[in-house]
Structure formats: C-alpha cells, structure tokens
Amino acid sequence: MIEAIKERDQAMKEMTEINASIAAERDETKRLLEWFQNRCLEFMNEKAKWETREGTARAQKK
C-alpha cells in the first residue's frame, strides 16, 4: 500500500512537471504569435504608406 502511494505521488509529480513545461511552451508560442502579428501589421502599414506615396494605392472594396 505504501509503495502504491509512493508511485502515485511520483506520477503526480511527473505530471505536474509536464504540465508546467507545456504551459511554458504555450506561453512562449503566444508571445511569438503576438510578435508576428504585430510585425505583419507594421509591414501592412508600411506597404500602405509606400503605395500612397507612389500613387499605387487601391481603394478598399466595401
């Protein structure tokens, strides 16, 4: 019985470590996604400014 409790405790500890690792990876992925989204918006804004300066901007469809 004591051995079963020790095994359960070890399994719980390992699961907790795995969950913490997954959470850290998830948070890093979210930060990367946010960074890429912001960069994409910056590039889109720069492209729109360039097109406006060059006179090649297209009217948006509604």
Residue 12 has pLDDT above 60, yes or no: yes
Q: What pLDDT is stored for residue 4 in this prediction? A: 92
Quickly count: other Cβ atoms within 10 Å of residue 57's Cβ. Answer: 13
Element containing residue 59 per DSSP (H, E): none
How far is CA 27 from each of CA 32, 35, 37, 59, rounded to the nearest angstrom? 9, 12, 15, 38
With left for phi above 0 and alpha for psi between -120 and 50, is residue 27 left, alpha or beta? alpha
pLDDT tens digits, one per residue of 18-31: 999 999 999 999 99
What pLDDT is recorded for position 54?
A: 84
Q: Has this prediction a pTM greater than 0.85?
A: no
**CB–CB of 57/51 below 8 Å?**
yes
